[in-house]
Amino acid sequence: MLSVGQPSRTGYAAILALIGIGWGSTQPLGKIAASTGHAPFGLIFWQLVVCVAVLGVLTVLRGKRLPMTRRALEFYVVVAFLGTLIPNYTFYLSVARLPAGIMSIIIATIPLIAFPIALALGMDRFSMRRIVGIVLGLSGVLLIALPQASLPERAMVAFLPVAMIGPLFYALENTYVAARGTGGLDAIQAMFGASLAGLVFCGPIMLALGHWFPMPMPPGRAEWALIGSSALHALLYASFVWLAARAGSVFASQSAYFTTASGIVWAMVLLGESFSPWVWAAAGLMLGGLMLVNPRERGSA
């Protein structure tokens, strides 16, 4: 996808939909990966191994090198912790206990959290329209937490705050990148370096906590789900940044709608999940909130 020519507007829309649909599948795949009971940092370690392998091959094929300047190293380490180690730890803790469809709704809160952070740091301007969007989105989360029939078991509510930690750290990562930039790194270099840094830090943490597990050969269903979701994430992230560079970041951000909607559908297809009217209402509020929070495109693609 990174080497194609200039697509038409319809082509951009098709790529946008494919990115969102692909990303939506990573939530139920992550739940399948966690179904064996493997500890979180063991899962994260193998996830990073796959990401490093995929992005390393792409880097070599492109004839690029991984910059090791002080600015680049800082970027790798910060993004590794904010965008992988901490949010993925809480993801695997919560996805093992919450429906994957619920996780797809919760992940859509990233822009809802990022806006007030940017506002507090003076990186964005106050907008009543976007404040209303935040209220709508958070109301969707409350619809999941409060009604008796929204979750299969009420004990699951205790893991909703854990599940919200991931979007918080993704929002902090987005804010860091927006404020500091990538130091001249392109999308693949940035993610390759961050994945490599994450792997370096994850290894000792995994061993210290006793989370290590050997990858079975041949891999089982859960392990293939982990490998597939990790490879998808690496490729889709690079494709997302490619699309943002050509069609605009605002246009690319609309993939969030496909990610949330397809995540729910994938959860129904792959895991047989079903949802109460409260959850469907929550998804509607979340998508409505995203429409208000996402800034409008300034100029054509």
pLDDT in tens, 160-217: 899 999 989 988 887 888 788 777 888 888 889 999 999 999 999 999 999 999 998 8
A 10 A CB-CB count for 149 gives: 10
The reported pLDDT for the residue numbered 192 is 93
CA distances, 228 to each of 104, 155, 196, 232, 235 (Å) = 17, 30, 18, 6, 11
Task: Enter the tokens of residue 129.
Answer: 């329209």
pLDDT digits (tens, 9 = 90+) for 155-173: 788 888 999 999 899 888 8
222-247 per-position pLDDT tens digit: 999 999 999 998 888 777 767 766 66
**Phi/psi at 6 (nearest 5 deg)?**
-75, 110
Q: Which two tokens stand for residue 275?
A: 């949802």
Q: Is the pLDDT of residue 25 over 80?
A: yes
pLDDT confidence bin for 252, thresholds 50/70/90: low
Element (H, E) at 66: none
With tokens 């939909």, the residue in question is 17
**What percent of the chain has pLDDT above 70?**
89
Answer whether 229's CB lies under 8 Å from 33's CB.
yes
Q: What is the average pLDDT score of the chain?
A: 84
Quote the crossing angle between the two packed helices 160-180 and 86-95, to the nearest 10°: 160
- H or E element, residue 112: helix 110-120
Q: What is the pLDDT confidence band of residue 16, given thresholds at 50, 70 and 90?
A: confident
pLDDT at 4 over 50: no
Residue 156 or 4, more confident: 156
Give tens-digit pLDDT for 286-300: 888 877 876 554 443
Q: What are phi and psi for residue 232, nearest 5 degrees?
A: -60, -45
pLDDT at 250: 56
- Cα 174 versus chain centre, distance: 11
Tokens of 269: 């297809």
- Mean of the pLDDT values across residues 32-57? 92
Percent above pLDDT 90 for the chain: 30
Backbone angles phi, psi at 210, to 5 degrees: 70, 30
